[in-house]
């Protein structure tokens, strides 16, 4: 258990997107901008509440197989194209993102605040894919 001044502590984990780092795919600039706002808020809020023992971090997934990306996951040719644009050559799984969130919420991450954790398989280069 960590020691701190002020409040009783806690942890907040926001979820953004790797899209915030590249402006999104064509037609998704508003989505990317909203995720960039989450990143910026996380950084600022982490500083504001640190003295209360509250940690604030953000996880930025890349392409993860979810309902939002079902069109990629169900189209084998598109899925292969997207996977080939990711250094780890694969899409993420929801439980991989959940594991990162759980770690950031745990006491094992007691010194981590204001962090932007990229979980995109090594990069996010699907800017030209629709």
The full set of domain ranges for the chain reads: 10-119
Question: For residue range 89-114, what is the model confidence (pLDDT) as tens digits?
Answer: 999 999 999 999 999 999 999 999 99
Query: What is the rounded CA–CA span in Å between residue 26 and residue 34?
Result: 15
Quick check: 9 and 110 in contact, CB under 8 A?
no
Query: Does the annotation count 31 as an active-site position?
Result: yes
Query: 31, 41, 45, 103: which is the annotated catalytic residue?
Result: 31
Q: Write down the CATH superfamily of domain 10-119.
A: NAD(P)-binding Rossmann-like Domain (3.40.50.720)
Q: Model's pTM, two decimal places?
A: 0.86
Q: Which pLDDT score, from 0 to 100, does residue 3 have?
A: 53
Question: For residue range 43-74, what is the model confidence (pLDDT) as tens digits?
Answer: 999 999 999 999 999 999 999 998 888 888 89
């Amino acid at each position: 258990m960590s020691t701190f001044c002020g409040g009783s502590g806690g942890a907040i984990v926001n979820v953004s997107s790797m899209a915030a780092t590249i402006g999104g795919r064509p037609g998704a600039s508003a989505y990317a901008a909203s995720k960039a706002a989450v990143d910026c808020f996380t950084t600022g809020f982490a500083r504001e509440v640190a003295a209360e023992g509250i940690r604030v971090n953000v996880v930025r997934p890349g392409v993860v197989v979810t309902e939002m990306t079902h069109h990629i996951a169900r189209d084998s040719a598109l899925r292969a194209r997207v996977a080939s644009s990711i250094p780890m050559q694969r899409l993420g799984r929801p439980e991989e993102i959940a594991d990162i969130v759980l770690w950031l919420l745990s006491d094992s991450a007691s010194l981590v605040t204001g962090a932007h954790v990229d979980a995109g398989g090594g990069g996010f280069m699907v800017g030209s894919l629709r």
